[in-house]
Amino acid sequence: MSLRNIAIIAHVDHGKTTLVDEMLKQSGVYRENERVQERAMDSGDIEKERGITILAKATSVDWKGNRINIVDTPGHADFGGEVERILSMVDSAIVLVDAAEGPMPQTKFVVGKALKVGLRPIVAINKIDRPDARVDEVINEVFDLFAALDATDEQLDFPILYGSGRNGWMSTGPDRPEDGGTLAPLFDLVLEHVPEPTVEEGPFRMIGTILEANPFLGRIITGRIYSGTVKANQQVKVLHGDGSLVETGRISKILSFRGLERVALDEAHAGDIVAIAGLSKGTVADTFCDPSVTEALTAQPIDPPTVTMSFMVNDSPLAGTEGDKVTSRVIRDRLLKEAEGNVALKIEESSAKDSFYVSGRGELQLAVLIETMRREGFELAVSRPRVVMHKDENGKLLEPIEEVVIDVDEEHSGIVVQKMAERKAEMTELRPSGGNRQRLVFHAPTRGLIGYQSELLTDTRGTAVMNRLFHEYQPYKGDIAGRTNGVLLSNMSGEAVAYAMFNLESRGPMIIEPGDKVYMGMIIGIHTRDNDLEVNVLKAKQLNNIRAAGKDEAIKLTTPIRMTLDRSLSWIQDDELMEVTPKSIRLRKRFLDATDRKRQGKSGANAA
């Protein structure tokens, strides 16, 4: 049986996981009476809720006596570290492009990485049944993108398929076949266009690319075997990239991917993608090899993180009331465990032993980590995201710049250009994108984009779509104006009272509900002015015999603003923290006592 290894790469929401669903169905992976789950490869709860792929996953299908290993990859730029590693495992990639949106920032990112490692991709124009599809223009844009990324002549001569992943058909022409069509043209093209895995001479060697924990088997490492054969119970050793020894041990299980199942093998051969269990320390980018091997394989370099946050022990008055994992030791162990499998994350201990600096690709990546930890029972406080600055050889400060693509209705383009200019962004392109919409392309500092997503949706009545991608480091652009509103702070601890909230509504919108627990220094609302204001949200109505019966029923509160985890992260300022527990998300000042805040403010002013 011959092998093919392919990855499916595309921008977020261009239909990768849905296409894999159909490939699994049409290749006979499922029984006829088997209930099939939509987006079967998105196995995590957060992946299902957000509708995005976060972790790369492998599967395989059999087609005409050949086995095709397929790796489904994330489409969001924050999880690009997953894609960079995966490309070293495969021999080609299917580049999926939306027939209406065309190549987007993440398409550019993943295609650039694929071309750099020498892959010859297949281009599939997906969703051509959309009413706003513009197939010919999109193909030209894809060709221009390949040319701009310095593709070779062989890479520029890419085969093109047209179809709809959701409806389960692909064709060599833009029209749907009369019989409805299937994915057979895609499978056949993969067998014809993708080379069989190149096998190197020598004993067993494999680079780890995906790490996961299993309650029964322990650490499971997935990777592609570069050379040799591996057998169950074989003695192996693990080498770091610099050739130093990590550990030696025995492989307890070799697992191969068969559809959504994993099948235990007695032995696996070079070229195949398998998962191995039994080793306790080996991780991503390490070389797993025969004891006779002395040199490690070279892993793909990973782009550096651009955003950092402080993860701290929760020290609020409500600490420990909702979560059971609250100490710095358990938080540290959990963060280090996350960094092992996620090479795009970097963890550093701060000088204060109860806080840690966590650096990643973007706010979404860090928000997903926080959400995962709170569901596991952790309580912690996190700071506002800050960008990671660099210095050049002359000591000049450099900051990360992102390429931002905003698709927006024409009537709202003016306010978007104005707001982006305030954030020190430079417009590089403006063109129509079909359907009375415009595509605006900017180069903007990462600092200015923190918190802009929700403001953009408000300005454009929810019609704008923003996509971001790290571009390069450039000289520091100067100060950028931050949040213009102050906050309403509770000056007492207790439970919020509806009567008090009703009387405070003229001061600004609330972000808490009646009956919520509050404490001194906790943020309960957004002030209409630019200063912070301490208020009493516990004040109940005086009970006397002068008032008329039934008056309390007249209190009708305005619906409070719901501060989600993502929104809170980008909204808070440098002197504020987000308290995260399994049940609640609360916003607070870093120093809860008003006197401490004033003292800190004065010392900060003196230092400045």
Annotated binding-site members for GTP = 13-18, 126-129
Residue type at 174 in one-letter notation:
P
| Of the candidates 419, 417, 429, 423, the residue with the CA atom closest to the CA atom of residue 401 | 423
**What Cα–Cα distance (Å) separates residue 258 from each residue in 137, 271, 368?**
38, 16, 29
Bind-site residues: 13-18, 126-129
Token pair, residue 410, equals 């024409």
DSSP letters, 286-321, are PEEE-TT--SPPPPPP-PPP-EEEEEE---STTTTS
Instruction: Tell me the HSE value of 66 on the side-chain side, using a 13 A CA sphere.
Output: 19
Q: Say if CB 24 and CB 88 are below 8 A apart.
A: no
Which is it for strands 267-269 and 273-277: parallel, antiparallel or unpaired? Answer: unpaired
C-alpha torsion angle, residues 376, 379, 383, 389 (rounded to 10)? -40
Distance of CA 238 to the CA centre of its chain: 29
- Residue 96 pairs in a beta bridge with 10, 124
Indicate the helix (H) or strand (E) that contains 513: none
3-class DSSP assignment, residue 244: coil
Indicate the helix (H) or strand (E) that contains 514: none
Residue with tokens 């454009």: 460
- Residue 125 pairs in a beta bridge with 97, 162
Dihedral sign for Cα atoms in the order 444, 446, 452, 453: positive
Q: Say if CB 558 and CB 509 are below 8 A apart.
A: yes
Q: Say if CB 449 and CB 569 are below 8 A apart.
A: no
Rounded Cα distance, 15 and 495, in Å = 46
| Of the candidates 500, 162, 29, 580, the residue with the CA atom closest to the CA atom of residue 334 | 580
Q: Say if CB 91 and CB 193 are below 8 A apart.
A: no
Measured between alpha carbons, how far apart are the two ends of the chain, in Å? 70
Token pair, residue 560, equals 């409070």
Rounded Cα distance, 549 and 547, in Å = 7
